[in-house]
Amino acid sequence: MILQQVWTLKVDRDESLPTDVHTEWIKYHTQLPLLNVALATKISRIVYWTDSTIVLHWIRSSSHTLKTFVANRVAEIQTKTNTSDWRHVPTDDNPADLISRGKTPKEFLCPSIWKNDPRWLLQSENYWPVWSPTPVVDLPEQKKTICLRTNISDNTLRHRYSSWPRLIRIVARCLRWRHKQHLSAHLTTDELTAAHNRLIKILQSSRFAPEIRILQKNRSEDVGGKLQPLNPFLDEDGLLRPKHPIILPKSPVTELIIEQEHRNNHHTGTQATLYAVRLRYWPIDGRSQVWRTLRRCVRCCRANPPPVEYLMGDLPEARITESRPFTNVGIDYCGPFYIKERRDRNRRKIKTYAAIFVCLATKAVHVELVSDLTTDAFLAALRRFISRRGYCATILTDNGTNFVGANRQLQELRTLLQSDDHQDRVQNFLADRQIQWRFNPPNSPHFGGLWEAAVKAFKRHLIRVVGTELLTFEHLNTLVIEIEAILNSRPLTPISSDPKDPPVLTPGHFLIGDTLTSLRERDFRTVPSGRLSSWQRIHQIKQHCWSRWYREYLNELTRRNKWDKGKHNIREGTVVILREDNVPSMQWPLGRVIKIHPGADGIIRTATAQAATSILDCGVKRLVPLPIHPDPDEAERPHGAKEVTNDTPDSTARI
């Protein structure tokens, strides 16, 4: 108002005010302090609201982690305010957001959050918005924290050479160059000895540094650890010795020394190699170090290939499923056995064979004599078996390649089993009767361990009874059937010493009281025997036999008598030795695994290997992986190690 009057009167800035205007200004000026009294409001707490989550993260973080511009302002805010008083407000409830968006005066007059505060602001603090901070992976304006780590790689000469004498000579040449000695081209004994001592001293200093410092202070009684029983001392060259030998720690250099002594002694065993090493050195845990090093010797592996170990698999469904005897069978041949054509003195010897049929569920055995190794003779024996035991669902046999290299008779059997005509005729015969024929992997007789055991038991009885005597066909057939009855009387479960226990369960219990084409009968196990007819009583006894088969026999099968540990490193690309029977191990061919076939439990038991001229499917028991690379539980040789061989013909540097 006063400024308006001055402008109306057109008073210049340098002129004095009129008296009435001046009086009015003095009156107004003296009353200005009264405005503060009228507007006096007590503020007990200040709450700061922002809709920027990034700003809240800045304020609640340490300012030194932010860049300079932001850090200075955040530090000032943290100094003048309490960080706990800063809260987050949604953008829709933030009146300051309207100003930052550049609203026009007309828009401010419209009903909005600018004229009406958020409703929750008038309520209790319990109803205010609660902000749950979420972690921010990349916060803007935040300094980057860089952590540097230096890997100290063991760049020793040992990792570049795999021969101990060659490593000594390389170090000797380096020492000669360091001392700038221009001698003859040949290294002297003193130079080789100095290089040897320098390598050993570096090795001992890297592993036994605390013990060496203690011995340098003449406090040998304070030496602990694995050196304490050795009572070591430092010789004039600064080498650790227990008496005469030089102490060697566990290291790749120690492996080089062991490998060299192993080759010098023409690939002796663990004990002899350890003795040769200890003539000059004393390796810590020497026996275990020598054993691990010898396991990686390729020449020793080829001379005595170790078997591949894997966990024994679960029993197939046919072994643990209740079924009629001989529903699923395994077949194998044995022989030849010689019989005489007639009872005359001048008789002629005739070959005969035995076909063994084994029930997979009950271990029942059926034996048929076969006159020769022809398809007609095999089909005739199969017809007799089906006619006496009933149709079967599955027949399992060996592949036949396990007879390679055996005697002439087994070679004939292999030729029969692998001939196309034999397989076609047998397949057609079985297909017409809806019987499935399956082969085990080649060279894997342990896949048919059930019928292999039956063959062994049958031959055991037959050879002990017959000996060298020649029987006629009738006598031999009678003896074979009697042996079959004996095999079917073998107990399936452990024999109890309590006379009150029921008789032991045998395969014969499942072969009596049932017709070949019988249907599944009613369950009589819970019916009192006095209410059953004689026919029903027979079926009840058989059903009790099956109950005992579940309770007693199957429990025995769950225990693995062997192959209870599985450990092998056969995978695609593994270089292996292919086992061959009746062939020296050093002449076994090499191959490479091109495909593996894991079982239902994930364990690899069969694989496909490529040899020089063929591709073979075989069980991993027939494969021996070469120790080209160490096992995972052993110290691995660093990547990029060069292979070095000695000049001697029998040197076997690691591949």
Query: Residue 273 — very low, low, confident or very high, per pLDDT cuts 50/70/90?
Result: very high
Angle at 359 between CA 355 and CA 360, to 5 degrees: 125
Q: Report whether pLDDT(515) > 80.
A: no
Edge-to-edge strands, sheet with 394-397: 365-370, 349-359, 328-340, 394-397, 436-439
The rounded distance, in Å, linking the Cα atoms of 400 and 196 is 58
What's the pLDDT tens digit per position in 135-147? 666 777 777 777 8
pLDDT, mean of residues 255-267? 92
pLDDT, mean of residues 588-597? 90
Lowest mean pLDDT among 259-273, 352-366, 427-441: 427-441
Residue 471 CB: number of other CB atoms within 10 A? 17
Q: Quick one: pLDDT at residue 642?
A: 39
Q: Report whether pLDDT(480) > 80.
A: yes
Query: Residue 44 — very low, low, confident or very high, per pLDDT cuts 50/70/90?
Result: confident
C-alpha to C-alpha distances, 469 to 24, 117, 457, 466, 476, nearest whole angstrom: 154, 118, 20, 6, 11
More confident of the two residues 427 and 534: 427
Question: Which amino acid does the sequence have at 113?
Answer: I
- In the DSSP assignment, the letter for residue 552 is I
In CATH terms, the superfamily for domain 327-512 is Ribonuclease H-like superfamily/Ribonuclease H (3.30.420.10)
More confident of the two residues 202 and 498: 202
Cα dihedral 170→172→174→176 (10° resolution):
-150
Q: What is the mean pLDDT of the chain?
A: 78
Give the residue extent of every domain in the chain: 1-43, 164-296, 327-512, 574-625
The first and second tokens of residue 310, run together, are 């894997």
pLDDT, mean of residues 270-288? 92
- In the DSSP assignment, the letter for residue 285 is T
Q: Quick one: pLDDT at residue 365?
A: 92
Instruction: Check residue 519 and give left, alpha or beta (phi > 0: left; psi -120 to 50: alpha).
Output: beta
CA atoms within 13 A on the CB side of 62: 3
- Angle 408-418/420-432 helices, nearest 10 degrees? 50
Whole-model pTM: value is 0.50
Query: Residue 594 — very low, low, confident or very high, per pLDDT cuts 50/70/90?
Result: very high
Q: How far apart are the first and last CA of the chain?
A: 105
What's the pLDDT tens digit per position in 344-402? 666 778 889 999 999 998 889 999 999 888 878 888 888 899 888 888 888 888 765 43
Q: Report whether pLDDT(159) > 80.
A: no
- Angle 252-264/270-278 helices, nearest 10 degrees? 110
Q: Quick one: pLDDT at residue 643?
A: 40
> Exposure string (b/e) for 70-103, b if CB count within 10 Å is 16 or more?
bbeebeeebeeeeeeebebbeeebbeebeeeeee
What's the pLDDT tens digit per position in 214-231? 888 888 777 888 888 888
What's the pLDDT tens digit per position in 67-116? 888 888 888 888 888 888 888 888 877 777 777 766 666 666 676 777 67
Residue among 52, 49, 50, 47 nearest 136 (CA): 52
Q: Report whether pLDDT(4) > 80.
A: no
Q: Report whether pLDDT(650) > 70.
A: no
Percent of the chain with pLDDT over 70: 77
Q: Report whether pLDDT(281) > 90.
A: yes
Q: Quick one: pLDDT at residue 631?
A: 45
Residue among 433, 403, 407 nearest 417 (CA): 403
Q: Report whether pLDDT(524) > 80.
A: no
Q: Quick one: pLDDT at residue 634?
A: 43
Cβ contacts of residue 548 below 8 Å, gap of 6+? 493, 502, 505
3-class SS of residue 268:
coil
DSSP 301-361: HHHSPPPPB-PPPPPPHHHHS---TTSEEEEEEEEEEEEESSSSSS--EEEEEEEEEEETT
Lowest mean pLDDT among 199-208, 243-252, 371-380: 371-380
How many helices and strands in the chain, by DSSP H and E? Answer: 22, 16
Q: Quick one: pLDDT at residue 257?
A: 93
Residue 622 CB: number of other CB atoms within 10 A? 27
Alpha-carbon Rg for the chain in angstroms: 47
Q: Report whether pLDDT(433) > 90.
A: no
pLDDT, mean of residues 544-569? 66
pLDDT, mean of residues 393-413? 57
Cβ contacts of residue 609 below 8 Å, gap of 6+? 576, 578, 591, 592, 593, 594, 615, 616, 618, 623
Lowest mean pLDDT among 210-224, 269-283, 410-424, 620-634: 410-424
Q: Quick one: pLDDT at residue 222?
A: 79
More confident of the two residues 434 and 418: 434
How is domain 164-296 classified at the CATH fold level? Endonuclease III; domain 1 (1.10.340)
Angle at 129 between CA 123 and CA 133, to 5 degrees: 155
Q: Report whether pLDDT(119) > 80.
A: no
